[in-house]
Amino acid sequence: MNPTVGDCPGNAAKMLRWIREASAQGADLVVFPECALCGYPVWDLANKKSFIEAGLRELKKIAAATRGLKTAVVLGFINAGPACGVRCATKRKSRDFAPHTSFSFNAAAWLEAGKVRAIYHKRLLPTCDVLLEQIFFRAGNKPCVMPFRGHRIGLTICEDIRDAAYDVKPLAELKRKGADLVINISASPYFEGVGAKREALVRAHVRRYQVPMIYVNQVGGQDDLLFDGRSFCCDSRGRVTFQAPAFEERLLLAGEPIQPTRLDSVGEMYQALVLGVRDYFRKNGFGKALIGLSGGIDSALVATIAVDALGKDAVKGVTLPGPYSSEGSWKDAEILARNLGIEFETRSIEPMYEVFLKGIRDSFHGARQGKDFKRVHSLAMENLQARLRGLELMYLSNSGGRLLLAAGNKSELAVGYCTLYGDMAGGLAVIGDVYKTDVYRLARHRNSIRAVIPEATLTKAPSAELRPNQRDLDSLPPYDVLDAILRAYIEKNLGCDEIVRKMKGKVSPAVIRDTVRKVDRSEHKRRQAPPVLRVSEKAWFGRRMPITNRFTG
């Protein structure tokens, strides 16, 4: 299921349709993901009494709708204390609920025959990377096993099965209580390679406890997080007996013959980015996108993703040539727009640039002009061009009612090779968690389906084109080297000396130390970036580093 955070009535209506459809198909049990009723993650909404109560009203409606059906329902919601929480119909003492309402529980409800039969509160609350549940939720303190049609079904929620780092072992407790089937409802975010890791985790648990498991995961985009779904069933021998497709919202009967499309890691990442853009626009009410097309690979990839997500009629490309833009670049931008079938416009920034340059020159006199002027102001004037483009694009965004998509990649954001209020401007950073080497892989992947990105864009040397004959290599190591350093520093959290030892003989220690220094000094820029769609295990939202920081290494 692909829920929308805060739209409890809309999410509930969707679930009711599927419950009726599942019942008509003879399903015994229909299972929805973690927090399906309210969406996930909700952050500080979990502290709003009115928000929790809105979900509980819909929960009661769904429970009432199961009256007369032979189908039971498991779904995720947020519960609170006795003043506004839901009590289940089974005989449980009041201590199941805390005596006040200043906190909430990440919960699962079992609905059957018109009633809430049981409520389970998530016991293991993650506080790692992008998940900060201990800030917003209280942990449950007991297992839940439901007798159902000759079986004893144990309920778990997401982190409950990732128990390696916890003293509490929810699955072991369920086994001791006689569970012969475990359901895990999840809202587990996507990152590259996560599908195989999840499957390996579930299969290991199933083999250890000899209890089959049903894993049901959320799908869709929520702000910067992407959820890939890929729900599956695993028998007691650790065999996957059913696998739902990735990135697709759908009601499926476990056991029906489904042949999910097998994607490689690049294809998965591309599909995740498309889903992220589509849901960001749909769920936030944005209708149209604007992209500044430089003729380079980054903006070409972002434009292509946007068209695949929104359709060509919703996307407009604008090229903004400046004093150092090559003819090839703006022609490549035009060819890309024609291949994609999108609206396209050329708007030169040179007149604005010359006006600004004249004003600056008029304010300097004597020796401060000439070569000295160019040396002192070269970087500022390069950034000025990027900011004039940002100014123009934001005007077009406002005047045309289009959300501007930023096209910077993770390699650039990491080392600060980007301009605040210039190329960083926009409402969503589509590839801000994609390394430059992966940008090329994604572009090649998309062209293998249908060639839309010009070959010249793929093969020419990357350049910001902000000064004569500029190339990225003038300021940065080759991208394969740079990305290897960044993966070690950001993804693996290795220190500078550890990276030097790891890359001994392959990369100069001076290059490594300079790269790490640039990453550390660019934190203030990343704090001001638009939301970045997360496709790696360590994206910017999950990497919390201080801006003011004198630690080196």
Give catalytic residue positions. Answer: 34, 122, 158
CB 305 within 8 A of CB 273: yes
Burial grade of 425 (CB within 10 A; 0-12, 13-18, 19 or more): buried
Strand ranges inside 168-283, DSSP E: 181-186, 213-217, 219-222, 225-228, 232-234, 240-243
DSSP one-letter string for 203-214:
HHHHHHHT--EE
Distance between CA atoms of residues 87 and 96, nearest Å: 9
Give the Cα separation of 32 and 185 in Å (integer). Answer: 7
Amino acid at 157: I
Q: Alpha-carbon torsion 207, 208, 213, 218, what sign?
A: negative
Q: 213-217 and 232-234: which strand pairing? A: antiparallel
Q: Answer positive or negative: Cα dihedral of 430, 433, 439, 443.
A: negative
Rounded CA gap, 32 and 52, in Å?
18
Label residue 264 exposed, middle or buried (CB < 10 Å: 0-12, 13-18, 19+). Answer: exposed
Place of tokens 């329902």: 73
Which of 55, 53, 141 lies closest to 92 in space, CA to CA?
141
| 280-295 b/e (C-beta count within 10 Å ≥ 16 → b) | bbbbeebebbbbbbbb
Helices (H) and strands (E) in the chain, counts: 17, 19
Q: How many CB atoms lie within 10 A of CB 297?
A: 24
